[in-house]
Structure formats: structure tokens, C-alpha cells
Amino acid sequence: MKAHLVTLLSFLVAAQAFYLPGVAPTSYTKGQTIPLYVNRITPSMRHTDAKSKTYVYSYDYYFPRFHFCAPEGGPQKQSESLGSIMFGDRIFNSPFEIKMLENKTCSKLCQPIYSTADAVFVNRNIRAGFKHNWLVDGLPVAKAIIDTKTETQFYGAGFEIGAVDNSNVAHLYNHYELVIEYHERGADEFRVVGVTVNPYSINHADPSNMKCDTEKSTPIVLDQGKDTKVTFSYAVFFVPSDTVWATRWDKYLHVYDPKIQWFSLINFSIIVLFLSLIMSHILVKTLKSDIQKYNEVNLDDEMMDEMGWKLVHGDVFRAPENKMLLSVLVGSGVQILLMSITTAGFALFGLLSPSNRGSLSTVMFILYAVYGCFGSYVSAALYKLFQGEDWKLNMILTPTMIPGSLFALFIFFNFFLIAVKSSGAVPIGTMFAIVLIWFVISLPLSAAGSLLGYKRPSVTLPVKVNQIPRQIPTQPWYLKTPVLALIAGIFPFGSIAIEMYFIYNSLWFNRIYYMFGFLFFCFSLMLVTTLLVSTLLIYYTLCNENYKWQWKSFFIGGGIAAYIFVHALFLSKFKLGGLTSVVLYLGYSFVISVGVGLMCGAVGFLGVFFFVLNIYGQIKID
Ligand SMILES: *[C@@H]1O[C@H](CO)[C@@H](O)[C@H](O)[C@H]1NC(C)=O
């Protein structure tokens, strides 16, 4: 019970604190202890040879088979925000003793013995590129890297647990040289402004008289044929720095070559904007002349033949098939859309800084729960417009169908994580908190949204629906829904394709994501292209006397989902290690693509809906 309370409390704290720019600075006095916390051991995408695999799940730092040194009295878990736990952070204390301004050249940690089975396990994970993620004063312990192009130094968060040498032998890093950069603020007031590590593999010949000589030493290799005893050690050096506390994250947020990205994006967006301008120009012009023609013409049989979209005026607002499902899906899409827009907005204004661990995911989760009211509102209003009768079912399905499926998948993936003893498995307490939030926040808000949506007067339709449905002429193959969806999906996908790489890296490999301005730009571009493409394609469909635009517009908007999924497959390079990695990777890629698909589907549908309302509102029907 205590754990639940801590989870809930820390979640509340995180939810309240998200508008603060980062965390408050800590000043240390000389000799004051600076705690070092260890987070989970995360996978990375490194292929040392043709046989090495990528894993997409992480382990606890104190997972017994790693034998990393624990503090006296056993490791203690640190409290974290809900989002942080959901996305896999598992933070513990550590045995490192670091005191401000006190250098240590060679301190012993512990001397575990690796059995042959554990040696196999650790060697496999060294080859797969698993990484340590330590935290000192809220900063990730990093490796200093030189960008060869710009010749600038930057920090890559985390460091490998070992290395593979030229003759393909795996070495375990057992000596950590920590370099802590401090900034002197005043008399006996120091702040930590950078933490880097140089990891070494040293075979300490005489553990009772260790030298920690990083230059003249042989590396340690875990023997897969017999037990190996390893001595862990560390060193700490304090170096002064001019960096001030406020800018200490700058070195971590390094973009390899910002010019290339912006260049390709601007290139692409100019093309998209240009095409969109031409497209909308043609569309508006055609529509204007259409409307003029329709409103002038005396009903004359010859003209009737070429009248295009006006012909279907008596059917264009006919309720679609499966109106329940469509309204629920559009409602769920709106919920995701609003969550994404708000999160991107928060991020854009720097409110979700990387120093607030888990703030991004917590905010997304809370927003998703709260925006259930808007989703249900849209769903109910649409269902009413479609003259649906079973509004109670609609009220129940909207907040349960998509979130419920998500939660079921989440639990399903959790079983796989438990099976491989990954730290990513979400504890029962957190599961409980998620369900509780959903019941307490999401359900009542959704019910209120549903009622409001159902009570509000429906949109007045500009044209009446005929009694007898019109026959739809045979459609050419390229106007069939799957073809249109595939054609349409390319454009919005193009606008976010570059971003997907970074998002996947931060999702699977714990990279820090920070290019929020860039993301916001791509995101907007994606929505605009979705709107334009859906409208244009539905215009052609209507001109071909096919009035069933509702599902079509949803699928045309959602066509991007197929591309996102296939792109994710290629990003994995088909080198996933083990069933769990495959299931998790495919599963989460599926969830993401469906989520984006629902969102863009809703955008497509609503955009086209207003387009149709507008054009049919401008013609005279006798
Ligand atoms: C600690 O080590 C650093 C790096 O070697 C050195 O510059 C600094 O002077 C040392 N500090 C003390 C107090 O010895």
C-alpha cells in the first residue's frame, strides 16, 4: 500500500510541477556528499559483428546476473513519477562515495564472481551494446564525444557496460573514472555542471594493492569456461568549469549536423507548401466555377450529365454504414490529436525540459485521460448526426474501446517483459494507479462529454437526404479506398519521416529527445498535408458520383499508419534478438502507427466534413 501511495503522490507532484522550467539547482559545500544514482541498463543499436542482435528491453541495474556492486544494506529504490515508471526508469542508490572537491584515484567497490552462465549472459549484452545510465545531481553521466564534422565536444548520455576489441573479444568495464565539472558560485558554494566517465577494463593483478593504472594494464575478460573473479573500482576527479548551472544541459543536447536536417526539412516543406498552394488554388477555382455553373444553369438534361458532385447532393449526407464504429474511432482520434497538439505545445515552449525525468510521458498520459471528454463529445455529436439510436452504447464504447485495447496490449507486453526478467515490466502498483486514474478522471469526464455532445443541436445540413439511395456507378480502380489511402499516406508520412528515427531512438534506446521545435514543425506539416490530400481526393470521389465519403476520408487520412509501421520495420534492420524483442518492437510499432492513423484519420474525416458542408451549402437545390 505504501508503494501505491508513493506512486500516486509522486505522480501528483510530477503533474503539478510540469510547468516549472526544470528542477531547482542544488549547491554543495566542500566535502558534501553528492549521491550517484543508477538507472536501468538500456539496450542500444550497436552491431559489433554480423551476428550481434538488437534487444529492445532493459534490465535493472542490480539484476543479479550482472553482479554490479550494490551499496551496503542493499539497494534502495528512489521514488519516481508515474510517466517515468511507465516508460521504464528504475532508479536506485549506489555504493559510489563522491564528496565535493575530493579526488579519488583508486577506490575498490566489490569483488563478485561470475559463473560461466553469467559470463555468457554478460558477454552477450556487451556485444548487444547495453548501456549504463547513471545520474549525478540529476545529470546523466555521459561520455565526452567529439563531433568530427564541427570539431565540437558534446556529451552522449550513458556509456556501454563493456567493449569488444579488434579480435572480437568482449571486455567488461570494471573501472570507472568519473570526471565531475563544477562551477564555483561563491565562497564554499559549488554546483555540478557536467559529469563524464571514462570506463576501463582492468585486470587488477593484486586487488589488495590496486593501482588502477589505466594505461599499462590488461583488460578483463569473462571466461565462459570457468568462474571469473572481477574487482570493481572507481576514481573521481573534480575539474572547474565556466559552464553555469542554467546552461549545463546544452552539451547533452547536441545535434550531429543541424544544417542537414533543417535543410532537408525546409526543402521538403517548400515542395509541400508549393504543391499545396497549387492544389488549393486549382480546387478553389474549380469549385467556384462549379458553384457558379450549378447556380446559373437551367435544368437541362444535357448539362445534367456533366454536373459532377452536385448530382449526389441527395445522398452526400446519408449516414454511413457502421456509424457507431466510425463515430467512436473519430472521437478517439480527436482525443489523441488534442493530446499531441497540447504536448507538442508544452514541449515547444520548453516546459518539458529533459531535467524533469518522465515529465513528457506523465503529461501525455494525464492529457490523454482528461481529453476523453472531447473525444466523447465529438463521438456523441457525430453519432447523433448519423441518426444513431443506441447513444448509451456510444457513451460506453468511446472511452473504453481504444483505451481498453491499449491497456490490454500493455498488459500482454508486460508478460513478455516479465518472462525475460526485464526491468521494463510495470509493477502492479503502477498498473493500479493507471486504472485508478482512468476510472476517476477519464470515465466521468467522458460521460460528461458524451452527454454534452448528445444534447447539443446537430449541425444543420445544407441539403436534404433523399428517400431512395442513388446508385453509385462503377468506380475506377484508383479511386478504391485502399489505393487512395496508400497514395494519400505518402505525403503526411514524408513530413514526419525524419523525426521518426529520433523518436524511435529515444523510445527504445533511451536517447534524450529535445528537438521539440523541429517536431512541432513536422507535426503541423503532417496535419496540413493530411487535410489537403483528403479534401482533394474526396473531391474527385464526389465528382465520380460516389457519395460514400465518410469512411473513405477516415482511411485516406489514416493511410499514414501503413507507412509508419513499415518504416519502423526497416529501422529495426531486422536484427531483433529473441521473441520478446520481436513482440515488443512489432507491438509498440503497431500501437504507434494505429495511434497516428486514428489521429490523422480523424483530421481527414473532420476536414472533409467541413469541406462537404461548405460546398453543398453554396449551391442552390430546387
Ligand atoms: C583533482 O583532479 C583534477 C584532475 O586531475 C585536478 O585538476 C585537480 O587539481 C584535483 N583536485 C585536487 C583537490 O587535488
Q: Is the CB of 304 under 6 A from ligand 1?
A: no
How many CA atoms does the CB half-sphere of 458 hold within 13 Å? 15
Contact 411, 384 (CB under 8 A): no
Element (H, E) at 607: helix 578-617
Q: Is residue 21 over pLDDT 50?
A: no
Quick one: pLDDT band at residue 4, thresholds 50, 70, 90?
A: very low
Q: Ligand 1, residues 100, 105, 237: which to mutate, most atoms within 8 A of Cβ?
A: 237
C-alpha–C-alpha distance, residues 433 and 4, integer Å: 7
Predicted local distance difference test score (pLDDT) of residue 506:
78
Predicted local distance difference test score (pLDDT) of residue 171:
92
Q: Is the CB of 237 under 6 A from ligand 1?
A: yes
- Other CB atoms within 10 Å distance of the CB of residue 73: 7
Copy the grid coordinates of residue 470: 442513388
Ligand 1 nearest atom to the CA of residue 240, by list position? 7
Q: Is 33 helix (H, G, I), strand (E, B) or coil?
A: strand
- Start-end of H helices in 349-442: 359-370, 372-385, 391-419, 428-437
Q: Is residue 44 over pLDDT 90?
A: no
C-alpha–C-alpha distance, residues 220 and 173, integer Å: 8
Q: Is the CB of 99 under 6 A from ligand 1?
A: no
C-alpha–C-alpha distance, residues 173 and 63, integer Å: 17
Sequence-ordered list of residues with C-beta below 8 angstroms from that of 474, at least 6 positions apart, any chain:
none
C-alpha–C-alpha distance, residues 94 and 197, integer Å: 16
- Nearest alpha-carbon partner for 199 in 232, 238, 240: 232
Predicted local distance difference test score (pLDDT) of residue 240:
94
Q: Is residue 530 over pLDDT 50?
A: yes
Ligand 1 nearest atom to the CA of residue 101, by list position? 13
Predicted local distance difference test score (pLDDT) of residue 451:
93
- Residues 549-569 have pLDDT tens digits of 999 999 999 999 999 999 998
Q: Is the CB of 238 under 6 A from ligand 1?
A: yes
Predicted local distance difference test score (pLDDT) of residue 622:
63
C-alpha–C-alpha distance, residues 554 and 599, integer Å: 10
Sequence-ordered list of residues with C-beta below 8 angstroms from that of 314, at least 6 positions apart, any chain:
463, 464, 465, 466, 470
Bridge partners for 233 per DSSP: 108, 175
| Amino acid residing at 438 | W
Sequence-ordered list of residues with C-beta below 8 angstroms from that of 134, at least 6 positions apart, any chain:
36, 37, 38, 39, 94, 140, 141, 197
- Residues 348-393 have pLDDT tens digits of 776 666 666 777 788 888 999 999 999 999 999 999 999 888 989 9
C-alpha–C-alpha distance, residues 89 and 145, integer Å: 24
Q: Is the CB of 284 under 6 A from ligand 1?
A: no
Quick one: pLDDT band at residue 6, thresholds 50, 70, 90?
A: very low
CA end-to-end span of the chain: 70
